[in-house]
Amino acid sequence: MNHDLENVRRLAAKLRENLAKCGDDPDVDPVHDTRTGTRRLQATLEDLVRASQEGDDGESVRAAAAATMKTLKKIRREAGPVRDLDVHRKLLEKLVKRAVEPCEDKKDEKQEAPDRARIGAPDVLETPEAGLRVTGLNQQADDLDAWLKHRRSEQADGLKAQAGDLVAKLDKRLEELETVLRAKRARRARKKPPGVIALDAFARLASEMQMLDASNLHDFRKGAKKARYVAELAAQGDAQAKQVGETLKKLQDEIGDWHDWLVLAEEAHAALGDEATELIAMVEAERERHFVAAMKMAAKLRGRLMGEWLAVSRRPVARAGSGVRKRPAGTVRRAAS
Is residue 92 domain-shared with residue 61, that is, in the same domain? Answer: yes
Res 83 pLDDT > 50: yes
d(CA 159, CA 87): 17
**Residue 69: how many CB atoms within 10 A of its CB?**
17
User: What pLDDT was estimated at residue 50?
Assistant: 80
Q: Which domain holds residue 316?
A: 190-337
User: What pLDDT was estimated at residue 119?
Assistant: 34
What average pLDDT does range 43-51 have in this prediction? 85
Is residue 110 domain-shared with residue 215, that is, in the same domain? Answer: no
pLDDT per residue as tens digits for the range 295-305: 999 999 999 99
Q: Crossing angle for the helix pair 194-208 and 277-313, nearest 10 degrees?
A: 120
Helix boundaries (H) for the chain: 3-24, 28-51, 56-100, 107-112, 128-183, 194-208, 217-232, 239-272, 277-313, 331-336
What average pLDDT does range 1-24 have in this prediction? 90
Is residue 300 domain-shared with residue 280, that is, in the same domain? Answer: yes
d(CA 303, CA 104): 35
Is residue 182 domain-shared with residue 209, that is, in the same domain? Answer: no
d(CA 139, CA 134): 9
pLDDT band at residue 114 using 50, 70 and 90 as cut-offs: very low
pLDDT band at residue 316 using 50, 70 and 90 as cut-offs: low
Question: What share of the chain in percent tops pLDDT 90?
Answer: 59
Res 315 pLDDT > 90: no
Is residue 199 domain-shared with residue 103, that is, in the same domain? Answer: no
- Of 189, 207, 226, the one marking the end of a domain is 189
DSSP string, 18-67: HHHHHHH---HHHHHHHHHHHHHHHHHHHHHHHHPPSSHHHHHHHHHHHH
For the chain, how many structural domains are there in total? 2
Is residue 185 domain-shared with residue 195, that is, in the same domain? Answer: no
Is residue 161 domain-shared with residue 258, that is, in the same domain? Answer: no
- Under 8 Å between Cβ of 248 and 198: yes
Is residue 284 domain-shared with residue 167, that is, in the same domain? Answer: no
DSSP string, 136-156: HHHHHHHHHHHHHHHHHHHHH
pLDDT band at residue 323 using 50, 70 and 90 as cut-offs: very low
- Of 189, 218, 246, the one marking the end of a domain is 189
Is residue 197 domain-shared with residue 167, that is, in the same domain? Answer: no
Contacts of 317 (CB under 8 A, 6+ apart): 191
pLDDT band at residue 333 using 50, 70 and 90 as cut-offs: very low
- Of 138, 168, 189, the one marking the end of a domain is 189
Is residue 160 domain-shared with residue 37, that is, in the same domain? Answer: yes
Is residue 78 domain-shared with residue 124, that is, in the same domain? Answer: yes
User: What pLDDT was estimated at residue 187?
Assistant: 53
User: What pLDDT was estimated at residue 135?
Assistant: 73
pTM of the entire structure?
A: 0.78
- Under 8 Å between Cβ of 217 and 298: yes
Res 58 pLDDT > 90: no
The residue ranking higher by pLDDT, 94 or 119, is: 94
Is residue 244 domain-shared with residue 297, that is, in the same domain? Answer: yes
